[in-house]
Amino acid sequence: MASMDTQLNRGPDQNSAERSSPSRQFDSQSLEESVETQKKELGERNSNTIDTMLELVLSYRFDGRLEEAETLTRNIIQIRREDLGETHRDTLVSITKLAEIYAELGREIEAEKLQLNVLEARRKVLGELDEDTIDSMEQLAIWYQNRGEYHNQKRDLDKSEELYQMVLKSNTTIHGQGHEITFESSTNLAGIYRLQGRLDEAKKLQTGIVEKSKTVLGLEHTSTAVSIEELARINHAQNRIESAKLLQKQAIDIYKATVGDKHPLTEEAEGEFIRICQS
């Protein structure tokens, strides 16, 4: 499961190397120049101008220039509100990006409020089964999960569980029980059970997912490896170290066969294997 740093809270201190890179600085500078040129030639509200502004926001965030990213994102939201409406799909996407920036700035309460507002709007306008609505539920679930795990807060883990249950229900309705996306949703739910200390429930759920994933997707599939890794974590939490090691090694072998030795998935799995061995 994703960590807080990789989801909504990747702070500026974690990217000092990228910020100091001349090529990254040039990218931001080049994009700033492109935005100004497009504003003059096409107008600030032109879709091409806005697309370039969005690229500049990403560049600012990558460089750790979060205040500038916030200001520009607010500008984009204002334009989209005026031109498209408060609940338009593109407006809501922009508001979600602002929530991510707030989280990166450590403004958790503001980030949570925006994410909840976006989820409510998407439910009303797009419906429970729209992919954007499901994405909102999943991102909030991840956010609560990370905060609950980091601060050891049962309330946040319970909120995360509720949202993951909704995501699983929606994905099962859309894709069926035997789909890769449904397997991933089930794995996320099993991970929450593990963090809540409900290890027997977690193991029962995840064992079934691993077997289904092997049958439907095959052994040489990254989603199968992801499900096996979660089962390894559950075994580790149960202090079944040898079982955890065997499962983690199996996941590593799948990653090596599918994405290669040097892929981040492989390297992260190998790091987890070392942690299991040292426990």
Q: How confident is the model at residue 10 (pLDDT cuts 50, 70, 90)?
A: very low
Measured distance CA(149)–CA(226) in Å, rounded: 19
Last residue of a domain, one of 127, 145, 163: 127
Is there a domain that residue 152 lies in? no
Last residue of a domain, one of 127, 145, 178: 127
Is there a domain that residue 227 lies in? yes
Lowest mean pLDDT segment, chosen from 8-22, 110-124, 256-270:
8-22
* Structure token pair of residue 263: 């892929």
Same domain, 8 and 87: yes
Is there a domain that residue 23 lies in? yes
Is there a domain that residue 160 lies in? no
pTM: 0.83
Last residue of a domain, one of 127, 154, 174: 127
Is there a domain that residue 53 lies in? yes
The helix-helix angle for 66-84 and 47-63 (nearest 10°) equals 160
Same domain, 106 and 191: no
Same domain, 3 and 120: yes
Are the CB atoms for 186 and 209 separated by under 8 Å?
Answer: yes
Q: What are the tens digits of pLDDT across the range 197-210?
A: 999 999 999 999 99
Question: How many domains would you assign to the chain?
Answer: 2
Measured distance CA(37)–CA(46) in Å, rounded: 12
Same domain, 102 and 223: no
Segments forming the whole domain that contains residue 247:
186-195+202-279
pLDDT value at residue 83: 97
Is there a domain that residue 57 lies in? yes
Mean of pLDDT values over 176-205: 98
Is there a domain that residue 41 lies in? yes
Measured distance CA(146)–CA(140) in Å, rounded: 10
Using the structure block, give the residue that is written with the tokens 């969005």.
Answer: 54
Same domain, 99 and 213: no
Same domain, 105 and 8: yes
Same domain, 22 and 91: yes
Residue 278 CB contacts under 8 Å (≥ 6 apart), including other chains: none
- Read off the CATH number of the domain in which 51 is found: 1.25.40.10
DSSP state, 248? H
Q: What are the tens digits of pLDDT across the range 222-245?
A: 999 999 999 999 999 999 999 999
Same domain, 190 and 121: no
Is there a domain that residue 43 lies in? yes
Q: What are the tens digits of pLDDT across the range 161-181?
A: 999 999 999 999 999 999 999
